[in-house]
Amino acid sequence: MMRVIRAKTKQALIEEIKGMNADDSEYYLNLRPTVDIIEALMEKCNGVKRVSCPPSLLQQTAKKVFKLTNEKGIKLDAGEFKVGRPKKYDEDTIREVLESRNNGKPAKEIATEMEMPLRTVYFYLKNGNNNQ
């Protein structure tokens, strides 16, 4: 089972780790992993095998953190947690907007028929289905 560790700052996250009484093998961090955070996690928790964080933060993670986790046999990857605002319209609705436009319907008519804000229709026409 994956243990979730959340905090607003790096220092608060390290304090949270130091206060834990857990020996789980998988951890999810809501902040970007740093050497300090990984070291605190290894010091407090025996048998760490996997550390996850949001995909956007994983891209910003320093190479030295990846090097440290590789040396210690810890897998560092993007977590499965959904982050951010949930999508209001499903893929079928977006596809219907795009097909209507391809069939020559004006954006205003699509918005009225689908009961969707005009701005949202323009967003999907511009970005297609790539925003998922």
Give the 3-state secondary structure of 100-126: HHHCCCCHHHHHHHHCCCHHHHHHHHH
Q: 48 and 107: one domain? A: no
Side-chain half-sphere exposure of 100, counting CA atoms within 13 A: 20
Q: How many domains does one find in the chain?
A: 2
Q: 64 and 39: one domain? A: yes
- The answer to whether position 83 is within a domain reads no
Q: Which domain holds residue 101?
A: 91-126
The pLDDT of residue 47 is 87
Please check whether residue 70 is in contact with residue 77, taking contact to mean a CB–CB distance below 8 angstroms: no
Q: 70 and 104: one domain? A: no
The pLDDT of residue 70 is 95
Q: 39 and 73: one domain? A: yes
Q: 62 and 115: one domain? A: no
Instruction: Give the three-state DSSP class for 3.
Output: strand
| pLDDT tens digits, 30-75 | 999 999 999 999 999 888 999 999 988 999 999 999 999 999 999 9
Q: 49 and 106: one domain? A: no
| pLDDT tens digits, 81-93 | 766 677 888 899 9
